[in-house]
Structure 1
Amino acid sequence: MNAHKWFLTNFDCSALWVKDRNALIQSLSTNPEFLKNKASEGNMVVDYKDWQIPLGRRFRSLKLWMVLRLYGLENLQSYIRNHIELAKQFEELVAQDPRFEVFAPRKFSLVCFRLVPPHNDKDCANKLNHDLLDAVNSTGKIFISHTVLSGTYVLRVAVGAPLTEKRHVIAAWKVLQDEASALLCCG
């Protein structure tokens, strides 16, 4: 999980959960002579050097720990639930416009959708959505990304910025609609 994407921490901060930490430790463990000490050999400490490829590491966990302490579980849950709700609202806006379709089930705060071309030609649809992506991003008002699902070029809106409100979601949708209208009338 990338904490820098949704846990209010700056880049880079990721958390890793493992089912069997011993398997991870055994595969990454290294014990040259200069690292041997009584505490490690007596299993009195956790040697985090054995949890990753580099022997040393930056203290990235402090920023995540501070967020957890300052916000607490309930506030973080509320923060994430708000983004999921905003994404759901965006998904509903997409579903209401017959020119668009939600292409994949919404996952958390990520909506995958596409502009449906007037005729059902896959290559034309892919080009149309690529052109829409370029047009939207060229406005400088919002930035969206794309992916390819089963050979189909689709657009992605991810709600995740800390200050995002419903008005931002509506404004983003308006930009998408305006640019789609311009493409469809002139394309």
Structure 2
Amino acid sequence: MVGSPSAVPLPVPLPRRPPVPDDGVRRWYEEELGWETAPGAPVRLVVGHRFDVLDLPLEAGLAALRHLGPASPVAVRADRMRVLVAAGSAEELPGLLEWLEWGALDLDLVGLGAGAVTDAPAPPEGVIVRTGAKGLRTGGVGSQGAAVWLRPPVPGREVEPSLPTLSALGGRGEAPDLVRLVSTAATQCHRLRLRRACARPSVLS
């Protein structure tokens, strides 16, 4: 039996396109910053060549940055923060946590190094990315849940020399050295862990 006209299904709306096409974002990272991107969509940055990443809870990361002052590029996605550090730092992280006497605790502080990728945040607000012959100005915000820059990299300026690294001189430029960064981040991750544990309702057996 043929259904009535009222039973005709409504057209499905097309998915919303991102404010800046992927090819423009990819071009900005590769040509303006010289950073390698992974094939496919969405655009992801290859970790371990130009930089590594420290991944930690957003709340702990914000508290750590308040203590550290100026730092290297920092991205945020949902409730996670990703701090760019010198390439090779992820490999040093477990030993560094042991040396700082944090190794026995689950701090939710993770290092991403060679072989990893991380989401490419939308270019900062006002940046013009080239898509073919056209140039589109970014709005500085991605779609819901997408990564965004809290402290973006600056095109035309070498990012790598200012990234936190192991250094007997206490870091380079304005960036803290890796020991200080990891120590501060681990402390804030531990404090967050304790606050969350205290906030859980106790279960009486």
Please state which structure has a larger fraction of its residues in strand.
Answer: 2
* Same-fold status (TM-score > 0.5): no
Q: Rg larger in 1 or in 2? A: 1
Which has more helix, going by share of residues?
1
With normalisation by structure 1, the TM-score equals 0.32
